[in-house]
Structure 1
């Protein structure tokens, strides 16, 4: 397990009794069934991690916190690519098609969202119209030229793909970085902000 879980990692160990009193019944049921929570971006107290509970319906998302000490298991998106993602649904076929190209980058990457959740748990969360959500970890700047090439690739697969570039400071959308826009939206623990370079720590500290 990572020293500190990262956004999109799936964590097992949170129990219904740890949820606030106002938590919805469906969230308690999900945890009672032993399902994982997903790490989200938010500032929390030391020893805690911000997580989200995922329900069966699209609108069933509940944000809460989890003590780090409760984590029994952690699975990252890149770990989900250690075994083939077999299936005929468009999102799974898209994942199979993109795998050789993304592997060539020699960067950590993997599925998040409904595809990642299904691969990690076996719970059927993907349907014929599901998007494919991916994260590509980019500790160093990714050129705009390469971003455009990648966007062309993901636009050719049989479903919509939302690929997020995970930088040391937060995440940006590949589509936005490839567009040539002067400023892009960086999502980080403190919220979202427009920046010219997500990898420029000096700009982000300003």
Structure 2
């Protein structure tokens, strides 16, 4: 029966480090959640390399996915580059999944001698399909969580942006009103006339 494992976490990538290598597996999904700094470019360059250093996949989007079969054992790495977002830090949520094909625990000689009836074979096939569906449901659930977190951070950033600009505009409006009142008051200010201080024609 095939075995499946899923792992997810978030990583911060600064603009000073050219790439961040990480160990990866056969199925990798990445999602940029939030950015900070001057340039708010949400694109991140991600490349996957096999143990020999050959490139097996690449992605340069806000949301990227790399699927590739692993043919040899070793350290597979995912390099993330934040070269597009200058003067800032990017938070990326990563989700790794491993799918082992042909990993059968029932290949022993004792089990091969026994004949399993049709009912048990049907139950085993249904269980295998159910496990595959649950695995893909978990993947889509993690991907939906990544999108929800990214949308939340975008909404929070826009909310702060609108609040600060609204405050700045309110201050400008109040200041311009005070200045207009001051100049209008000076315009209609009449000097008192005395014997020594008479208005000129």
TM band (smaller chain): under 0.3
Greater relative contact order (Cα 8 A, min sep 6): structure 1 or 2? 2
TM-score (norm 1): 0.20
Q: Which has the larger radius of gyration?
A: 2
Looking at secondary structure, tell me which structure has more strand per residue: 2
TM-score (norm 2): 0.20
Looking at secondary structure, tell me which structure has more helix per residue: 2
